[in-house]
Chains A and B, each alone.
Chain A
Amino acid sequence: MTITFDAESLPALQEQRIQHPWRKKTPVFTWSVVLATLIPLVIVGALFIWGDIPGALLMTVVYLPLQLIASGFAAFATRGKRGILDSVIIVNAIGATIFSLVILISVIGSLIVRGFSALSAHFIYQNNVYVSPSTPLEYGGIGHAILGTLLIVGISALIAVPIGIATAIYITEVRGRAVPYVRFFVQAMSGVPSVVAGLFVLTIIVATGAFEQGAFAGGLAYAILMLPTVARTAEEVLKLVPDDLRTGALALGSTRARTVFRVVLPAARTGIITAIILGVARVIGETAPLLLASGYADSTIVNPFGGPIAAVPTYIFNNVALPYPDAVARAWASALVLIVLVGILFVIARVVGRGRLSSK
Chain B
Amino acid sequence: MKITIASGKGGTGKTTVSSNLTAYLAEHGKSVVLTDLDVEEPNSGLFIHGKIKYDQIANKMVPHWDSTDCTYCGDCANVCNFNAIVALSDEIIIHPELCHSCYACSELCPTNSLPMMPERIGEIKVFETENFDFVEGRLDIGQEMAVPLIGQNIDYVDENYDGYIKLLDAPPGTSCPVIEASRESDFVILITEPTPFGLNDLKLAVETMKVLDKKIGVIINRYGIGNNSIEEYCKDENIPIITKINNDKAVAQCYSRGELIYTQIEHFKNSIEEIAKFLEGIR
* B is bound to A: no
